[in-house]
Structure 1
Amino acid sequence: MTDGFQVRVVAEGDVGVLHWSGYADQPTLDEAVSLAADDSLIGRGLRRVEASIPATDRAAQRALHKAGFRREGRRRRVVPDGSGGYTDALLYARLIEDQVYGMGAMTAIMDSVMPTHRVIGHVLVRDETGRVLFVEPTYKDHWELPGGVVEANESPRAGALREVREELGVEIALGAPLVADWMPPYLGWHDALEFIFDGGRLAAGAVEDFVPPPEEIRGYHWAEPDEIPSRVEDFSARRIAGILDGTGLGYTEAGSPVDPRPGPR
Structure 2
Amino acid sequence: MTSVDITIGPDRTARLRWDGAPDRAMIATAAAQALDQADRVEAEVADTDVPARRALHQAGFRSEGVRRRALPGPGGAMLDARIYARLADDEVAGPLAFSQVMNTVLPRTRLIAHVLFRRTDPAGGPMQYLFCQTVFKTDWELPGGVVEPGESPRTGAVREVAEELGLAVEVGEVLAVDWLPPYLGWDDALELIFDGGELSAEQCAAMVLQPSEIAAVHWTSAEQAYPMLRAGAARRLKLITERPGATHYLEDGDPPG
The question of 1:167 aligning with 2:164 is answered: yes
The question of 1:144 aligning with 2:114 is answered: no
Q: Deviations over 1:166-203 (max 9, x none)?
A: 11111222111000000000110100000000111123
Aligned pair partner of 2:118 in 118, 123, 126? 126
Instruction: Tell me by how many angstroms 1:133 deviates.
Output: 0.6
Instruction: Tell me by how many angstroms 1:204 deviates.
Output: 5.0
Give the match for residue 124 of structure 2.
none
Give the match for residue 249 of structure 2.
251
Aligned residues: 250
The question of 1:32 aligning with 2:26 is answered: yes
Letter of the aligned partner of 1:50 in structure 2?
E
Secondary structure in 1 matching 2:103: helix
Aligned pair partner of 1:117 in 91, 106, 109? 109
CA distance in 2, matches of 1:231, 1:207: 21
Give the match for residue 19 of structure 1.
17
Secondary structure in 1 matching 2:148: coil
Q: Deviations over 1:143-162 (max 9, x none)?
A: 21111100001111110011
Give the match for residue 263 of structure 1.
none
CA distance in 1, matches of 2:139, 2:32: 53
CA distance in 2, matches of 1:50, 1:208: 55
Q: Deviations over 1:59-106 (max 9, x none)?
A: 111111111111111122233332232322111111112111111111
Secondary structure in 2 matching 1:187: coil
Letter of the aligned partner of 2:166 in structure 1?
G
Does the aligned pair in 1 maintain the 2:21–2:52 contact within 8 Å?
A: no
Does the aligned pair in 1 maintain the 2:179–2:191 contact within 8 Å?
A: yes
Matches within 5 A, 1:188-207: 188-203=185-200, 206-207=203-204
Does the aligned pair in 2 maintain the 1:207–1:220 contact within 8 Å?
A: no
CA distance in 2, matches of 1:92, 1:221: 47
Instruction: Tell me by how many angstroms 1:241 deviates.
Output: 0.8
CA distance in 2, matches of 1:22, 1:237: 53
CA distance in 1, matches of 2:54, 2:223: 54
CA distance in 1, matches of 2:158, 2:168: 7
Does the aligned pair in 2 maintain the 1:128–1:203 contact within 8 Å?
A: no
Matches within 5 A, 1:32-181: 32-41=26-35, 43-44=36-37, 46-129=38-121, 130-181=127-178
Q: Deviations over 1:187-245 (max 9, x none)?
A: 10100000000111123563221111222212221011211112111111111111011
Matches within 5 A, 1:234-249: 234-246=231-243, 249=247
Secondary structure in 2 matching 1:5: coil
Secondary structure in 1 matching 2:92: coil
CA distance in 2, matches of 1:200, 1:91: 46
Structure 2 residues without counterparts, runs of 5 or longer: 122-126
Instruction: Tell me by how many angstroms 1:142 deviates.
Output: 1.7
TM-score, scaled relative to structure 2: 0.92
CA distance in 2, matches of 1:23, 1:182: 39
Secondary structure in 1 matching 2:229: coil
